[in-house]
Each structure stands twice: as structure tokens, then as C-alpha cells.
Amino acid sequence: MNLQKATSKALISLGCEFSSKLEAINYLVDQLDQAGKLTSREEYYKSVLEREAMSETGIDCGMAIPHGKSSAVKEAAFAVATVKKPITDWESIVPGNQVSIIFLLAIPEAEAGSTHLELLSELMTRVSDSSYLERLKASKSAAEFYQNLEVNEKAAAKSGKTYKKTIVAVTACPAGIAHTYMSAEALVKAGEEMGVKVYVEKQGANGVEDRHSSSLLKNADAAIFAADVAVKDSERFSHLPVYKTKVAAPIKDGQAVIRAALDKAEKEGKGNFVAAETDFEQKESVGSEIKKAVLTGISYIIPIIVAGGMINAFAVLIAQGFGLQELYNMENSWLWLFRKMGGNSLGTLMIPMLAAYMAYSLGDKTALAPGFIAGVAANLINGGFLCGMLGGLVAGYAVRFLRKAIPAKGVLAGFVSFWVYPVFSSLIVGIVMFFLLGKPVAMINQGLISFLGSMSGSNAALLGAVIGIMVSFDLGGPVNKAAYTFCVGAMADGILMPYAAFASIKMVSAFAVTFSTLGFKKYFTKEEQEAGMSTWILGLAGITEGAIPVMMADPIRVIFSLCAGSAVTGAIIAMCNIGLDVPGAGIFSMFLLKDGMGGMANPLIWFFAAVLGAVISTAILVTLKKIKYDKAAR
């Protein structure tokens, strides 16, 4: 950004004498008013004071950047004043900062968050070079100051300096605007002064900028998280000593933050770097992107499904156990409220959250809003899970398209990020969902649900067997998640058998590993036996991942055995037409079963189908292990 375009020689005053902060602000507001930048001096002055009341505008190195965003500003501009005697009462981020140079920014209200960010970021970038700031302060005239505003390219050229350490940092603030960038510049500046190379990834309003490469992460000595919000993909830094602090800390004392990070690195040392499964430096295929988006969406909705399901289960069990059916159905009673809270978590939030986080996987934070809206649109047309997934994909790719077509750069960067992207991507989502693909996909979804509802006997048994194989094939991996998505989607549309089968099947692998490793110890290692001691408990909670260590040790035999027993379990539940409309309840699901044979028959069939499947899996696995063991003994 060319700073000269936002000011003029008439707006630059050198060698001023002010007795207070307010006097300096009043003077600079007058300068802007006299230059014809304002329609109402008083209105703009009021906006500046309102901003001063929010937080400090003094920075460091004798600098202050007060500003006001108001409809009284005709065009973005700033006035500058240098001070003979530093102002000591200016509240600053760095305590003791004595202000000797002031930049007063005037921003039109329509450009709030955009021009403000652009000017502030550019100023902070330039003054991070101490020689640039000193050159401004040393200017002898307004004309010389105006000339010095532009960077001397030769002076800014690389000096070939060597660095003793390398640090990777992440900066992030709640708004993702000013402090994110100011903190990043402060870290880079402090690192230059200390002979430490600092690379900063900014996680702000426009998503992740300057993302750290795998090679950079591998070779770094330490990491800094200067953030007031959760750092995205923080597992990338697991091999590094990580120093965590507030986003404003580097602005106050960047060198202290870097020293703390280096001290931690010296004490803890580095771990082994493990490259992420998905290398963000490599372009993924569309198929891989969609698969990743679906799995991301599912991973984010699982907690709300579990929480909503358990709350629902709590309400049902309380009503049944204490004879409170009337209270359960009484509007606005405490039990009715819990029932509705759990039900709405599943019925109202589930699909919008799925769509939102699928969009998030494709288009980062900017895609969350259109993603949620896509989920709402799916609910409006009764499109179910399939429409929710479609909406999430459309939202994510719409944001990507808009980022390429309308880059968020220049003075309108904030406006583009906070208005153009969410509004236009949401409109694209609405058009696709309501007029193009949404209704046909909703019809497919309804057709599938109708088909499932009509299945019975051998047809249903086949479906249950397929679900069983998918659940135990990779124990929580993509195939398992695909089965989970199908079952939850069917449940959301009133088809209850698939999820009842899913919930029972999840116990099969856990029980089978326990039966096998503890009942036939000679065929299993000590580590496998230790794993088997706890898998049955995890199985009761509906967690299949406990069987993974045994599967990894001998994948072909274990997967075949678990899938065979799980197929039998799924077929039994399906043939008996047992249903379940409360997800995530684990063993407590047996008290919430519906349809089927009713009474005590449902829970007995549901639980012992899992036990039978586990016994079959155990028999097959032990037989295969014995064959292997006997061959090795020959």
C-alpha cells in the first residue's frame, strides 16, 4: 500500500508541542477537517474518543496510532505529528512508552475493518524496521517526511544475514484483524534484532496466511503460539517445544517472548518430526478433498450427537424409571426441556454442523457461515444428510471460487472478507440448494429412506451384514465413519434399525479381542493381552478403537475375523427389526430400543447378538492364529 496516497504534506506537522493526549488528538482532527476529509468534525472526534476508551492506542518506540471510524469521514486518510517533548500520559501497549510521533487514522464507516487493517498493517510492517522509524522522526520538513514514508527498496534489500536459531510462530486474535498482524510483525522485528529467524503463520479473518511448510516445521528449533483463540492444526507442532502466550505479548516485548521460547527449547529439546498424512504443500485431488471434507464434518458432529443422544437417553430413562411420562410430555417442564435440548441437538443442529464443518475443511473459517446456512437450507427442503453434505461441498467450493475471483487485498480487504465472501457464497448455496441440485438430491434421500423402510427379512439381513462388515473393517476409520453417517442419517429420517445394528456391532470387536487375548493367551503377545483387558469396557461405551493394537499386529486375520462376527450381529438385529433413535448411548442403548419384539426381548436380542458375533469372531481368529502358530512351530 502506498502511504503517500492516504495523506499529504498539509497533514504532516513536525516539532509540535502538546501538553496532553487530548490536545494532540484535537489538533490532528482539526488538520483533517481543514483538509476537507470530514463532513462533521465533532462526529469524527467523538468516534476517536470512543476508540480511545476501548483500549490503548499507544504502541512502542514512541509511536501512537489513534483512529476513528465514522460516516463523517469522506475518504480514508491520516494526519501525522511529531512532538518536541514526548507525551507521557498516552495509554500504550508497552508500559512507559513516551509518544513522540502520532498517526491519526480517519476511516469511513463503510470501510471499517478493511482500510483500517490495511493502513495499520502497512504502518506496523514499515516501522518494524527501526531505521525507517528513525528516518521519519529525523525528517526536517513536512516534504521530507512525506518523501520518507515510502520504503527505500535498496535499504530494504536482504543483507545476507545469518541466523543462529529458527522459530515458527502462529498469531491469532478473536477478530483476526489488527492484533494478529501487529503481533506477527513484532515477532519478526524482535527476531531480526536477536539474530533469530522467525517465520509467522497468521490465522486471521482470511483464514491461514503464510502457512508453515513441512520442511520449515521439521527444521525449526521452537514454536510460539501468540494467540487468544485455539490454534488451528496445532498437532503439526507436536515435535517442537511450544511457548504459549497472549497475542499482545509480542507487541509489548517481542524479545522476551522469543527468549522464553528458546529457553523452553533448550530445556525440553525437540522430538521426532512426523509429516502429516495430508501434506498441504501438495495439491489434493478433488476426490481426496471431498473425502477429507466428509470425515472432517463427521468428526465435528460426533460430540454433539453423543451429547444430544445421552441427554435424550437421560430424559427417557428418568421418565420410564420414575413414572414421569406426564412430566416428560408436559411443555416447559424441566424433563420436557431436557428432552427438547437433546432432541434439537440432533434434529436441528446436526445437519447444519455437518455442512458447516465440511465447508470449513474446504474453505477455512470464511466458509463456516455459508456452510451453516447450507445446512439450514437442507433442513428447509427436508433433504436429510445427503443434502447437508451437498450444501457443505457447495459452500466450501463457492468460497474458494470467490477468493480466486475477488482476492481480499488492498483497502477493501476487510470488506471483501466479512461481507462479499459470506454473502455471495450463501447466495450461491441458496441457488444451488433451492433451484438446481437440492431438491433432486432430497428426492434421492427420500427414495433411499423409503427403500430402507420397506426392507424386511433376508433383504434387511443383508443390509445388517453389510453394516457389520463396514463397522469392523477399520475400527473407526473412513469405512466405519461411512457406516456411521449412513446409520445416523437414516435415524434422522425415521428409519431406526440401522443405528440399532450399528450400536450393537460396535461391541463385537471389543468383546472378541478380550475373549481371544485373555482366553487363548499363547497366541498373543503380552502387549496384545494388556490391550484385551480393557477393550471390553470401551466396547460397552461404544468405542471400537480399543481393538486397533491387535488389528495392527495381524491385520488380515483380525479384520476377517471381526467382520465375519459383526456381519452375523448386524443380520440378527436387522431381521428382528430392532430400532434405536438415541445415538451415542453405549450399553444404555439396550434400555431405549424400539420396534422389534418389544419388552425384554429387544435388549436381550440386541446384547446377545453382539456376544454371539464376538464368539464367532473369537473362534475364527483363534483358529487362524493356531494355524499360524502350528506352522511356526514346525
The C-alpha cell at 409 is 487485498
Give me the catalytic one of 173, 387, 487, 563: 173
Residue whose grid cell is 441437538: 345
Cβ pair 26, 46 in contact under 8 A: no
Q: Please count the CA atoms within 13 angstroms of the CA of 449 that sit on its side-chain side.
A: 20
Instruction: Quote the CA–CA distance of 77 and 119 in Å, as a whole number.
Output: 9
Q: Are 81 and 102 in contact (CB under 8 A)?
A: yes
Please indicate whether residue 173 is annotated as part of the active site: yes
In contact, 192 and 186? CB cutoff 8 Å: no
Q: How many CA atoms lie within 13 A of 373 on its CB side?
A: 22
Q: Residue written as cell 482470511?
A: 206
CB-CB contact of 44 with 32 (8 Å): yes
CB-side exposure of 485: number of CA atoms within 13 Å? 25
- Nearest residue to 412 (alpha-carbon basis) of 118, 73, 180: 118
> Which one from 67, 116, 179, 212 is the annotated catalytic residue?
67
The rounded distance, in Å, linking the Cα atoms of 30 and 51 is: 18
Q: How many CB atoms lie within 10 A of CB 436?
A: 11
Helix (H) or strand (E) holding 245: strand 242-245
Q: What CA–CA distance (Å, rounded) separates 170 from 246?
A: 11
- Cβ neighbours of 342 (radius 10 Å): 21
Active site residues: 67, 173
